[in-house]
Amino acid sequence: MTSQSKGHWRKFSGNAPSSSGKNLLPKRNSSLVGRFVSTPLTLKLPLPAMPNSEFAIQPTKVLVNVTVENSSGAVKLVVLPEDTVGDLIKAALVFYKEEKRRPFLKNTDPKCYNLHYSNFALQSLKPDEKVMQLGSRNFFLCSKPGLISSCSSEKENFAIDSAFPWMIFVHLLL
């Protein structure tokens, strides 16, 4: 059996391993400390004077949420600042159909839908308005109330009209 040395790590008495009083432990990650210490900027560039607000920084793309009527969640779209409400309606319908969201839309014609600020707003947004000038990033897409027959396809109109033609007389039976 070998004898353990006097400075074994299990028998550390609390005194420094060296009698000189210097700490012999290596400095770990000492090079990293200098990287994270904040230093004042030595190079100061003058900021250009901006007298007009036309030089203000504008985002190149905008994230917009559009909730489609009767759907469970919003469709998230990235649009350009120069896009209009009409472009946003088209893009929302395309993404809603591509993601196969439910309920399925019977018609994906953008002319049959209105865009509102919320589902409680009665006034719809004009199709030629810019998205950046609206002041909101959350919208509600719903079908136009008066254009149900003109927006649906001819096959659907024929199927509705010819499925049960005798149903128009039901109110007479009551």
Mean confidence (pLDDT) of the chain: 74
78 closest CA partner among 68, 67, 92: 92
Question: For residue 57, what pLDDT band results from cuts at 50, 70 and 90?
Answer: confident
Would you state the structure tokens that stand for residue 97, as one six-digit string? 């159909």
Q: Are 115 and 124 a contacting pair, CB within 8 Å? A: yes
134 Cα distance to chain centroid: 17
- Pull the structure tokens for residue 66: 């559009």
Which domains, from first to last, does the chain contain?
62-154 (3.10.20.90)
For the residues 138-163, what does the mean pLDDT come to?
66
pLDDT band at 42 (very low <50, low <70, confident <90, very high): very low
Position 26 scores a pLDDT of 53
80-89, 121-130, 164-173, range with the lowest pLDDT: 164-173
**HSE on the CB side for 148, CA within 13 Å?**
3
Q: pLDDT-derived band of residue 145, with 50, 70 and 90 as boundaries?
A: confident
Q: What are phi and psi of 64, to 5 degrees?
A: -125, 140
97 near 121, Cβ under 8 Å? no
Mean pLDDT of 159-168: 57
Segment 162-170 shows an average pLDDT of 62
Q: Where are the alpha helices (DSSP H) in the chain?
A: 30-36, 85-98, 148-151, 154-163, 170-173
